[in-house]
Each structure stands twice: as structure tokens, then as C-alpha cells.
Structure 1
Amino acid sequence: MPSNDVRSSLRAIFGDVAPKLAELTETVVFGDLWERNGLSKRDRSLVTLSALIALNQLEFLPAYLGRALDNGVTRAELDEIVTHLSVYAGFPGAISAARVINQVLQERGAS
């Protein structure tokens, strides 16, 4: 089951507009998908960050960056992800992602 922090964040994002979407996100995404045994949470974080960057879904990047750092992804690995994706997903997206990553790292005192 997702933590109370995740639930609170989802409620803040969705409010009363889409309660079923919040419920599905809690139960399917964080209650099931992230708890499967086929990949470690660290590896799931790497895959998720890569997908968000490649799809230019940077609004979601700060939350998943925090989760990735908590799951053991290092600052050096974040650098490699962005550099690697610059070729496959494009320089503008990689530069934008690097900006978001830098901001999150500064906020966490990890830069």
C-alpha cells in the first residue's frame, strides 16, 4: 500500500476533481506496479525517470526524482541518464530535465 505521504500528495494533486483516478493511482501504480518483484525499486526508478524525460513529462519529475534518490539512485547516475537520453530523446528535453534535476538536488542539499 502507498505511504500516507503518497496519498496526501495524490489528494493534493487531484483534489475532488478525479477521486477515482487518485484511487487507481494509489492501488494500481503504487500499490501493485511498484511492489512487483521483477525489478528492484531502484531499477523501477531508473526506468520511470527515463520514460518521464523521454516523454517530456517534467511536471512529474520532481516527485519521481525524490523517490529515485530514496531508492538509491545516485547523482552520478542521474547525470548519466540525462546525458544518455540527450541523444535518444533530444537535447531540449535533456536540458530541461537537467534543470529540474539540479533544482531537486539543491532542495535536498545533494548537489
Structure 2
Amino acid sequence: MNDSNQTRAQQLIGDFAPKLVDLTDNVLFGDIWERSALSPRDRSLVTVASLVTSGSMEQLRGHLVRAKANGLTEAELKETIIHLAFYAGWPKAMSAITVAKEIFRS
């Protein structure tokens, strides 16, 4: 399978940890993200908040792009990060807003 046909997990991890790729592709994105109790937009908002709170900036990049594709606006995402500054910590919010700035301006 060439890179254009691979999932992001396959591109990043490849054969190094095939079970993690399988769980990411089939359970997380194939099942959890497809459940109807939350809309993709709401799942993106929860995921972005979780990633900011945990300081997972590398994963935040892709999920900000996904959040916009799922209907969240830049204003809503910026406001989420500002709100989280008071709950997750100022340094995490500052790191997250820097990532958001890079994503939104590209």
C-alpha cells in the first residue's frame, strides 16, 4: 500500500506496532468516532479539549484540522483553548494556541 492509501496511523507507525495501528484505525476511528450518541463535531470538541488538557500538542495538530472539517469554527476552537487556560493551565493553553495559529494560518 502506498503512502496515499495509508491511514495516518499506518504512515506514522507502520509495521513497528501493527496492533496499535489496528486499534487506532478499526476501534477508535472505525467504531468510537462513528457512534451516534455524539456528533462528529461534538467528538472533535471533546477530543481537542482532552488533547489540550493533556498537553498532547503533536496530536492536537491533526485534530484541529479534523475539528474544522467536522464543523467547528476557528473562533469556537480559539475560545475553547482560552477557556481551558483556566482549567488545564496557562502553559498548555499557550502551547495549544500556538499550534492553532500555525494550523489556521496555513
Post-superposition shift, 1:11? Answer: 1.1
CA RMSD between the two structures: 1.6
- Looking at structure 1, the residues matched to 90 and 12 of structure 2 have their Cα atoms a distance apart, in angstroms, of 29
Distance in 2 of aligned mates of 1:100 and 1:41: 21
Structure 2: runs of 5+ lacking an equivalent = none
Cα distance, 1:8 vs structure 2: 2.7
Quick check: 1:7–1:26 contact (8 Å CA) kept in 2?
no
- Correspondence for 1:79: 78
Query: What does 1:39-78 align with in structure 2 at a 5 Å threshold?
Result: 39-78=38-77
Q: Match for 1:101: what amino acid?
A: A
Instruction: In structure 2, give the amino acid aligned to 1:19.
Output: P
1-side partners of 2:39 and 2:12: how far apart?
Answer: 27
Distance in 2 (CA, whole Å) between partners of 1:57 and 1:85 is 14
Runs of 5+ consecutive residues of structure 1 not aligned to the other structure: none
CA-CA distance at 1:49 after TM superposition: 0.1
Contact 2:7 2:25 in 1 (8 A): no
Shift of 1:75: 0.7
How far apart in 1 are the matches of 2:87 and 2:50? 11
The CA distance in 2 between the partners of 1:15 and 1:46, in whole Å, is 28
CA 1:41–1:72 in 2, change beyond 3 Å: closer, same or farther?
A: same
Letter in structure 2 aligned against 1:64:
H
Moved over 6 A (4+): none
| Aligned AA (2:77) | L
- TM-score norm. by structure 1 comes to 0.89
In structure 2, how many angstroms separate the alpha carbons of the residues matched to 1:43 and 1:96? 22
- The alpha-carbon deviation at position 5 of structure 1 amounts to 6.7
2:16: which partner in 1? 17
SS in 2 for 1:16: helix
Count of aligned positions: 104
Moved more, 8-17 or 81-90: 8-17
